[in-house]
Structure 1
Amino acid sequence: MSSEIEELKKVIGQLQKDVTRLSDQEEVRKLQYKYGYYLDKCLYKEVADLYSDHPDTCVEFLGGRYNGKEGVKRLYVERFAKAFVKGRNGPVHGFLLDHPQIQGIVDIDSTGERAKGRFRSMMSAGTHESIKDTHPRGLVQWWEGGIYENEYIKENGVWKIFRLRYFPFWHGTFEKGWSHTKPNYVPFMSKTYPEDPMGPSELLEHPMMWPDTRVVPFHYTHPATGEQVADDDLRAPHFGEDASTSLPPLVLSKAKSESS
């Protein structure tokens, strides 16, 4: 009887771990979805509050990295808010900027305090013709597709965004689509803070933009083989050419506290 009880205790212990892991996965997934809903409506203060206070917290976007909570606020509360809604927190009439968060894959690490997640966004954006003379973007409508490879951290029992890496994979105007996207459709970051008062803390190597189709590295291994995708298979050479002729594979950055 005692052996059966011990076995039951082991089973219950494992079930408790599994329930906690699944619960954490769902909380992280919900966190990312809520990020998208706040971002849709230009609620940038709420977005910034989703981020960790950890010194290695960052956002990577368009070839720049915004470091720390202050960097996060500089991107959302200053740069985005001033560009899209003239500094207010919330939407303005006639401006569309929807960021659906889909295909979420979340993995909790063995400590239960960190997580990684991969998500996709398929954004529709633009202005209504009634505000073409009052909004700085004029009359415009476009599509955007992007990949997130993010990290999350549990602070005082609450999951927060630790390192958000967004790769806007492609853009296309509504009228002509992605086949006719002009080069440098959205310019990469070129100046850092404080030279650019709303610029990133540092610039990143090898930013990418359509028609560059390199693969954003997966945080997870292949579910059947347990292997990572080979570096050369993450590259995107021209049709019929060797992978060595392509730009280098993309590399996910690491937090400074984890780089040594």
Structure 2
Amino acid sequence: MASQPTMGELLDRIEKLEARALAAEDYREVMNLQAAYGYYVDKGMWDKAADLFAQDGTLEIAGRGVYVGQDRVREYLHHLPPYQDGTIYNHMQLQPVLHIDSEAGTAKGRWRTLMMVGFRGGEGRWGEATYENAYVREDGRWRIASLHGIINFYCEYDEGWHRGGVALLRSTDGLQPDLPPSFEYEAHPKAVIAPFHYDEV
């Protein structure tokens, strides 16, 4: 007959189960956080997107420099085109690889975003980028600590990526970043590999 577990062994099991439950909950919350960001950006809901960032969170998109702090993230987002009739601004959040330290309240994630951007009577473009992000639990809720979008390609929808791509816009009219870009690169047809936050999964 198998021996019954001791009280110490039972407590150890409970602690391990609690840790696994917390890890699962944290995974769900970080997934929802990033997905919510994509949905808000889709519809130009810049304030709601900015609210997902930590107070000292950072944003860096397409080599335009780093914006530091939630207020500056909000300012940058409000310089993007408004969502209105005739506008498509889809940013789908795909293919996550997440590494979460529940005890420390920190996480890192790699994502792919597929973009459909267009304005009736104007441009219509496909794009794809890699996000290398960090997250932090702030006041009990997960928030984006840093969002870094590295554009892999951006092209006219009717020409396709096989004909090359649109050069990256390196600045935002009327707005200067707080820090220079993390690294210099150009998108397709130049080859770029976004730095990985992990060596193996």
Q: TM-score, normalised by structure 2?
A: 0.90
Which of residues 19, 30, 38 in structure 2 aligns to 1:17?
Answer: 19
- Which amino acid in the other structure matches residue 62 of structure 2? L
Quick check: which one's strand share is greater? 2
Matching residue within 159, 162, 167 for 1:185? 167
Which residue does 2:192 correspond to in 1? 214
* Partner SS for 2:109: strand
Task: Indicate conservation of the 8 Å contact 1:59/1:163, yes or no.
Answer: yes
1:1-260 aligned at under 5 Å gives the runs 4-54=6-56, 57-63=57-63, 64-77=65-78, 79-80=79-80, 84-85=81-82, 91-109=83-101, 111-128=103-120, 132=121, 139-182=122-165, 185-189=167-171, 197-204=174-181, 205-223=183-201
Q: What is the letter of the counterpart of residue 33 of structure 2? A: L
Give me the whole-angstrom Cα distance separating, in 2, the residues matched to 1:104 and 1:112: 21
Distance (Å, rounded) in 1 between the aligned partners of 2:72 and 2:185: 19
How many equivalent pairs are there? 197
- Look up the SS of the partner of 1:202 in the other structure: coil
CA contact (8 A) 2:23 2:102 kept: no
Give the Cα–Cα distance (whole angstroms) in 2 for the partners of residues 207 and 111 of structure 1: 36
State the distance in 2 between where 1:3 and 1:19 align. 22
SS of 2:75's partner is helix
Measure, in 1, the Cα distance between the counterparts of 2:24 and 2:199.
19
Q: Indicate conservation of the 8 Å contact 1:147/1:167, yes or no.
A: yes
Q: Report the secondary structure of 2:30's partner residue.
A: helix
Question: What TM-score, normalized to structure 1?
Answer: 0.71
Q: 1:2: how far off?
A: 8.0
2:185 partner amino acid: P
Higher helix proportion (structure 1 or 2)? 1
Specify the SS of the correspondent of 1:21: helix
CA RMSD of aligned residues (A): 1.9
**Structure 1 residue ranges without an equivalent (≥5):** 86-90, 133-138, 224-260
Q: Percent identical across equivalent pairs?
A: 29
Measured against aligned partners, the alpha-carbon deviations of 1:73-117 in whole angstroms (never above 9, x if no partner) come to 22102x11xxx12xxxxx200100100101112111263411111
Q: Deviations over 1:132-176 (max 9, x none)?
A: 2xxxxxx22110000000001111101111110011110121111
SS at match of 2:151: strand
